Amino acid sequence: MLDMALEQQLDERLKQALKEKDTRSADVVRMLKTKLSERRTAKGFSGPVDDALVLDVIGAYRKQLQKAVVEFEKVGERGAAQVAQLRFEIEFCDRYLPKGLEETALRALVQERLGALGITDAKQVGRLVGDVMKTHKGQVEAADVKRIAEELLKG
């Protein structure tokens, strides 16, 4: 299963979900496929639809879901069913996304890159964030990299 391209994995997952009458999973896969097709037909898009693009689409959708969870949690009981569905979709997306780095691993990475790039001034943190995001896209949040870098530079 793992050597199959991600887009094919999603197609297979959809077939399986439909066969098992698992409408929740089928709905999530359909939504991801819609988002993928929107990206593919977006103005100015060219290039392959590879696993990196699929992961980017899944990651962006997951981020949308997380923002929605926060909104629905604000309405309390009325939003409870929605929150449960959103959490299900987030967990579904998580299965396809690379595991994020733990705080200690991220801290070590930021420390190492600060030294490697010779950054000693908080004004240069943007360069570090760009560097880390290039090599660890989908595994770390830019805001976390920035926060840790600024903490380390304050010392």
pLDDT of residue 128 exceeding 60, the answer is: yes
And the tokens for 142? 């830019």
Round the average pLDDT of the chain to a whole number and report it: 90
Query: Using 50, 70 and 90 to split pLDDT, how confident is the model at 34?
Result: very high
Instruction: Tell me, yes or no, if the pTM score tops 0.85.
Output: no
| pLDDT of 116 | 93
User: Rounded distance, CA 120 to CA 155, Å?
Assistant: 11
User: Rounded distance, CA 141 to CA 100, Å?
Assistant: 9
- Report pLDDT digits (tens) over 47-73: 888 888 898 899 899 989 999 999 999
Structural domains of the chain ordered from first start: 6-94 (1.10.1510.10), 103-154 (1.10.10)
Tokens 């997306």 sit at which residue? 93
Where in 29-148 does DSSP place strands (E)?
A: none
| pLDDT of 140 | 83
| pLDDT of 99 | 80
